[in-house]
Amino acid sequence: MTKPKLFLDMDNVLVDTLPVLNAKDMQKEDVAKPDQIPGIFKNLPPVAGAIEAVNVLSEDYDMYILSTAPWHNPSAWQDKLIWLQKYFGADDSNPFYKRVVMAHDKGLVHGTGGILVDDRPYHGASAWDDAKTDSFWIQYGFDEKLVWSNELVDFLQAVAQAYANTHNVRAAIDQVNQSVHYELHGDKEKFEKASWE
C-alpha cells in the first residue's frame, strides 16, 4: 500500500526554536539577528511530544523534512542535519534518512503532493494548500489542539487511514475534519513575527 507523504518543518514544529532565539542577548553577539549566530541551531530542544510523534507517524506516512535555514548562517544548514541525526539516528532507521529538503521556497516542493505541517505561511508553506497537486498545509498550533502533545498525532493517523480508501490527501483531510472541525490553518499572508525577524 502506498503511504501518503508527510513533510515536517523543523523550527517551531519539531525544534523549540523561538523561545531560545527570542531570549538571546544580542549585545554580546557579532551578528544582527539571533538566527545568524553560528551553531545556534545544533543544540536546541525538541518541541514537547515531537520525537514520539514522528516515531508513531512514520508507521503511517512516508516522512520528509522541509525546512528553511538562514541565508546568512551557513552553519545552520549543517546544524539542522546534526539535530535530526541526534534525535532520530544517522542511519536508515531515521525516518528522515536522505529525505531532508532545505529550501527558501517550500512551495517548489508541493508538486509532489502530501501534507506539510509548518507553523507559518511564509517561505512557500501556504502554497501547499493546493487541490491541483493534492497537497495541503496544516499550520502547527494554529488550532491549539493541533500540536504533538495534544490531538495532532491522532488527527494525522486518522487522515492516513482515510487516505487508504481515498488515495487523495485533501479528500482524506476533509473526511476526517468533518467530525472534529479543526481550524487547519490561518491567513495565508499574515502572521505575527518575532521582533527581530
* CATH numbers and ranges of domains, the chain: 5-180 (3.40.50.1000)
Whether 79 is catalytic is: no
Judge contact between 125 and 106, C-beta under 8 A.
yes
Digit-coded pLDDT (tens) for 59-112? 999 999 999 999 999 999 999 999 999 999 999 999 999 999 999 999 999 999
Whether 11 is catalytic is: yes
Digit-coded pLDDT (tens) for 154-179? 999 999 999 999 999 999 999 999 99
Distance CA(120)–CA(188), nearest Å, equals: 8
Identify the active-site residue in 11, 35, 118, 129. Answer: 11
